[in-house]
Amino acid sequence: MRTVKLGSSGIECQDIGLGTWAMGGWMWGGGDDAAAIDAIRASLDAGVRLIDTAPAYGLGRAETLVGSALSGRREQAVIATKCGLVWHTRQGTHFFDEEGQAVYRYLGREAIFHEIEQSLTRLRTDYIDLYITHWQDTTTPVAETMDALLELKRQGKIRAIGVSNVDAPTLTEYLRHGPVDAIQERYSLIDREIESTLVPLCRQHDIAVLGYSSLALGLLAGPIDPQRQFSGDDQRQGNPRFSAENREKLNAFFADIEPVRARLQCSFAQLMIAWTTACGSVTVALCGARTAHQAIENARAGAVTLGADDVARIDGAADRHLGALMS
């Protein structure tokens, strides 16, 4: 894995990071806490430093698992967590219900100060490396939100500031009030809209880009049996991208790029992660894992080197087979 910098913060990590949304269980058909802790520790052992989590991932469950996994190893990790999805107050805008609990988008000053203390406790640490506004709140001025984040930075409770699920005008408004070190946005072979909307602005202002869902919720991890069923609250159950018809298109795509995979002696998932880090749009590819095996396999994608011809072949195959899935 390459070593990269998170904007001008001085924080360094590798270009592959671990995402912990699925470890929270919610919208992923439940979770296995012991396996999740093993996955986090295996990531560190494999050289991954950036561990991305959030309070909303299982209403604190994922953060608690990260805190447990990093016990005695805190200095080996770069922790990114978030604020702005709250259930301790009904201020802001109702966003969704999680496990029977109403969750609101809210980035008011006092709520951020409340959230940081909760996260520090769950993560068993006295500082967060990268603190990210999870979803944007139209009821609170950006100036108020940024003032709170800058105060936390002055207090030493956070080292860097990030924003997520943001548009270019809102990012510009953040920049009017202080430095932004990173954005976190959905990015994969079939989710590339930020290339024209946010990436140019980030390059202009030395802002790192963390791409989440690098494998598109597992869609790009390799051929999927058209008959496979997703159960429980697994979000893929009703996702049209996972229809039987689209799985057949994906299987044709994977067959098209099989020569590239075979020559590089890697898995399809590793090939897609390597594409993400090679394309030049993201600083860090965030990859979810729920087991140590998955975490190690994701990290090993850092040893896969794609040439320009490889990238072009993958892009061409995606255009031929995945046009209907691409955004």
Weakest-pLDDT range from 19-28, 31-40, 78-87, 167-176: 19-28
Note the pLDDT of residue 241: 80
Residue 12 lies in a domain: yes
Summarised one tens digit per residue, pLDDT across range 171-187 is 999 999 999 999 999 99
Residue 61 lies in a domain: yes
Strand ordering across the sheet containing 85-86:
85-86, 101-105, 93-98
Residue for token pair 């979770």: 31
Decide if 56 contacts 134 (C-beta within 8 A): yes
pLDDT(16) > 80: yes
Residue 57 a catalytic site member: yes
Which of the pair, 28 or 150, is modelled with greater confidence?
150
Residue for token pair 């195959």: 317
Which of the pair, 327 or 65, is modelled with greater confidence?
65
Q: Which domain holds residue 113?
A: 3-224+277-304
* Mean pLDDT on 161-167: 98
Decide if 286 contacts 130 (C-beta within 8 A): no
Q: Which member of 57, 104, 106, 187 is catalytic?
A: 57
Summarised one tens digit per residue, pLDDT across range 267-291 is 999 999 999 999 999 999 999 999 9
Note the pLDDT of residue 286: 97
CATH code for position 27: 3.20.20.100
Q: How many domains does the chain have?
A: 1
Residue 314 lies in a domain: no
Supply φ then ψ for residue 227, to 5 degrees: -95, -5
Most confidently predicted of 26-40, 130-144, 244-258: 130-144
* Proportion of the chain above pLDDT 70, given as a percent: 94
pLDDT(327) > 60: no
Summarised one tens digit per residue, pLDDT across range 196-238 is 999 999 999 999 999 999 999 888 988 877 666 655 656 666 6
pLDDT(30) > 80: no
Note the pLDDT of residue 311: 96
Decide if 132 contacts 162 (C-beta within 8 A): yes
Summarised one tens digit per residue, pLDDT across range 98-131 is 989 999 999 999 999 999 999 999 999 999 999 9
Question: pTM (2 decimals)?
Answer: 0.93
Which of the pair, 323 or 118, is modelled with greater confidence?
118
DSSP-derived letter for residue 191 is B
Residue 44 lies in a domain: yes
Supply φ then ψ for residue 47, to 5 degrees: 105, 0
Weakest-pLDDT range from 37-41, 214-218, 309-313: 214-218
Residue 241 lies in a domain: no
Give the pLDDT band (50/70/90) at residue 12: very high
Note the pLDDT of residue 236: 65
Residue 263 lies in a domain: no
Give the pLDDT band (50/70/90) at residue 49: very high
Residue 284 lies in a domain: yes
Residue 273, CA atoms < 13 Å, CB-side half-sphere: 32
Note the pLDDT of residue 324: 72
Residue 112 lies in a domain: yes
Give the pLDDT band (50/70/90) at residue 246: confident
